[in-house]
Copies of this chain bind each other. A is one copy, B any other.
Amino acid sequence: MPTPRPQRPDPRANPIADDGTEVRFCSTCAFSGACIDAGYDKIALRDLHVLVEHVGPFRAGEHVFRSREPFKAIYAVRAGLVKTVAVDPEGNEQVLGFYLPGEVVGLNAIYPEHYPCDAVTLETTHFCRFSFPAISALAARMPGLQQQLFRLLSKELGMTSLLAGDHAAEERVAAFVTDLGERLAAQGFSGTRLRLSMSRLDIANYLRLAAETVSRIFTRLRDQGLIALEGRDLEILDPSGLRALARNVRDR
């Protein structure tokens, strides 16, 4: 019944092809671990299969959901990259986060009951869509799933430390790169060779810096031999050196 763990696509390779309309359980979905590991009864697992909806592909620049839309579902990234963006009353955009395969978008919409931000794909992206009423009802019957949801929410709380701290520009950029590498590694990708599919402006906006500052710091890090950077292809040459620069950014 459980399908074999699919190959992780190389993040630098082309996005995965559309795998048809068949709804299959996919291990990249954020809840797989909770379900497979816990040895649940077939009925519960079947319920989870049924409520999962594979959506996509979205092309780069498309909206998954928009601010103020009623909250219906959370989205687990299967492949690709998403950013969430909040727009203030003056029209200023603020990138709230980037979401990699295996990560979940939309959790901050539970409380307000509408999405407080836009979700925009940055490359061709596939999702697993979970109706929130359905998955929370199921969670009541599957303690492991409930626990997984609690942990996901709590994890995202801790993720804010990069933005929340008052850090020098260099610390921010170093922490950003380090964090990205670690999150990719956690999902089975290379943690040292990665592609920055988001623009420099998106990175700068996310880090609350000017694009010029980000650019300057990237070149400085390259001159110091910590990274190799060609366009949007990044290689981390000295992970511990980068970590040292980012040391003041509290780890989760």
List A residues at the B interface (Cβ < 8 Å): 86, 88-90, 92, 94, 96, 107-112, 116, 136-137, 139-141, 143, 146-147, 149-158, 160-161, 163-166, 208, 247-250, 252
Verify A111–B154 contact, CB threshold 8 A. Answer: yes
Residues of B within 8 A of A249 (CB): 88
- Min Cβ gap A101→B in Å is 19
A153 touches which of B116, B153, B164, B250 (Cβ 8 Å): B153
Verify A90–B248 contact, CB threshold 8 A. Answer: yes
Question: Considering the chains assembled together, what is the distance between the CA atoms of A97 and B88 in angstroms?
Answer: 22
CB nearest neighbor in B for A94 = B165
Verify A164–B88 contact, CB threshold 8 A. Answer: no
Main secondary structure of the interface of A (DSSP, over half): helix
A157 touches which of B140, B146, B153, B161 (Cβ 8 Å): B153
Question: Considering the chains assembled together, what is the distance between the CA atoms of A136 and B166 in angstroms?
Answer: 34
A248 touches which of B88, B156, B250 (Cβ 8 Å): B88
Verify A151–B247 contact, CB threshold 8 A. Answer: no
Residues of B within 8 A of A151 (CB): 110-111
CB pairs A–B below 8 angstroms (11 shown): A86-B161, A88-B165, A88-B249, A88-B250, A94-B166, A107-B154, A108-B157, A111-B252, A116-B250, A136-B150, A137-B143
Verify B154–A208 contact, CB threshold 8 A. Answer: no
- Min Cβ gap A248→B in Å is 5
Residues of B within 8 A of A160 (CB): 157, 160, 163-164
A146 touches which of B109, B139, B156, B252 (Cβ 8 Å): B139
- Min Cβ gap A186→B in Å is 13
Question: Considering the chains assembled together, what is the distance between the CA atoms of A246 and B208 in angstroms?
Answer: 18
